[in-house]
Amino acid sequence: MKERLSRLKVIRKLIKSYRIESQESLLVYLQKEGFEVTQATLSRDLKLLKVGKISDGRNGYVYTLPGEDERQETDQSLAQDFMRGYISIEYSGNMAVVKTYSGYADVVAVALDTLAMDEILGTIAGGDNCVFACLKEGISGEDFLKALKTRIPELEE
């Protein structure tokens, strides 16, 4: 999961820094940054980041990241997904367990992963009703909960 989050950050940086017209050219930039990914993986990454193409004003198109309004809309959607499935959060050491309604573990895990919180190393969705979140070294459960509440204000614990 760490590599994926790092790769997503690099993709954002590359799209902001360069005029990228195709997945092939983006793959070349990613290789220069040390990432070896397939076109299919890159395609999924671009979809996850909601990357679009806009006219370059000439005869081509370039990749663009969503605007701040769209990013806020995405975060709101992720918060809704999280809240729809969330029951409670408990933690010990650098491990947090999010208990979910039956069948919502995957939805809650995807929401946490997509929020790309710096406090989380990665998540594992249980088969049905819980998500394990491994927190970074030095991050307490209280730190995680505080950060989560800043991203999802309606969260009450």
pLDDT per position in the chain (157 positions), as tens? 558 888 988 998 999 888 899 999 999 999 999 999 999 999 989 988 888 888 767 778 888 887 744 555 567 788 888 999 999 999 999 999 999 999 999 989 988 988 888 899 999 998 789 999 999 999 999 999 999 998 888 887 5
Domain ranges (residues) in the chain:
2-64, 69-151
* Cβ pair 138, 129 in contact under 8 A: no
Question: What CATH class is the domain 2-64?
Answer: mainly alpha
Give pairs for 77-84: CB < 8 Å, separation 24+: 78/111, 78/114, 78/115, 79/111, 79/151, 79/152, 79/154, 81/107, 81/108, 81/110, 81/111, 82/107, 82/108, 82/111, 82/112, 82/152, 82/155, 83/152, 83/154, 83/155
Please give the CATH architecture assigned to the domain spanning 69-151: 2-Layer Sandwich (3.30)
